[in-house]
């Protein structure tokens, strides 16, 4: 009879340990956020650019915006109609629109591309719908913002840049 009680205690200790480890892991995210807020650690370079008040008003860059969908997709994905003129260092928001044209809920993701290719190192996205999977109910329409800054280190001869997204369906929700 003695070995059964010992096994029960061991099992109970393991269950308590597993629950404690799960609770600790779950609490780490908000705890980490609080520590970062207090100490100022681990702040993203893009966020630092967003707080930058040094806008280079002496020059402007034309940002052309494009939206594409994969072949056979049941999305309507549109970019703003007009290009945006941006001063390097200026915080900019543009909104794309995504609509599910089907009778089913869908899941998808946008993949960005840049032209010329070197432009990618000057686009500093602070927030973008491309960071997350998008889930749409049947016939739902979403406004998808992109918040970005063009780095002030942009080469002086670069006057036009293109930001393009292609939306890919990743599946349907059941």
Under 8 Å between Cβ of 167 and 70: yes
Residue 38: CB partners within 8 Å, gap ≥ 6? Answer: none
* Residue 159 in tokens: 């006057």
Write down the CATH number for the domain with range 49-172: 2.60.370.10
Mean pLDDT calculated for residue range 129-143: 93
pTM of the model: 0.68
How much is the CA Rg of the chain, to the nearest whole Å?
A: 24
Under 8 Å between Cβ of 88 and 123: no
Tens-place pLDDT, residues 12-57: 777 786 676 655 655 555 655 555 555 455 545 445 555 555 888 8
* Whole-number Å distance between alpha carbons of 169 and 114: 21
* Whole-number Å distance between alpha carbons of 139 and 103: 7
């Amino acid at each position: 009879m003695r070995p059964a009680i010992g096994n029960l205690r061991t099992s109970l200790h393991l269950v308590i340990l597993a629950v404690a480890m799960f609770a600790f892991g779950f609490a780490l995210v908000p705890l980490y956020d609080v520590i970062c807020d207090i100490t100022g650690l681990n702040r993203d370079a893009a966020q630092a650019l967003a707080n930058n008040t040094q806008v280079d008003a002496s020059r402007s860059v034309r940002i052309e915006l494009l939206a594409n969908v994969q072949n056979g997709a049941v999305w309507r994905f549109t970019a703003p109609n007009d290009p945006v003129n941006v001063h390097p260092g200026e915080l900019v928001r543009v909104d794309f629109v995504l609509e599910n044209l089907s009778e089913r809920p869908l899941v998808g993701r946008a993949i960005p591309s840049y032209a010329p290719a070197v432009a990618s190192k000057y686009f500093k996205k602070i927030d973008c719908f491309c960071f997350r999977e998008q889930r749409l109910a049947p016939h739902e329409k979403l406004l998808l913002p992109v918040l970005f800054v063009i780095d002030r280190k942009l080469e002086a001869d670069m006057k036009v840049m293109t930001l393009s997204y292609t939306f890919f369906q990743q599946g349907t929700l059941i």
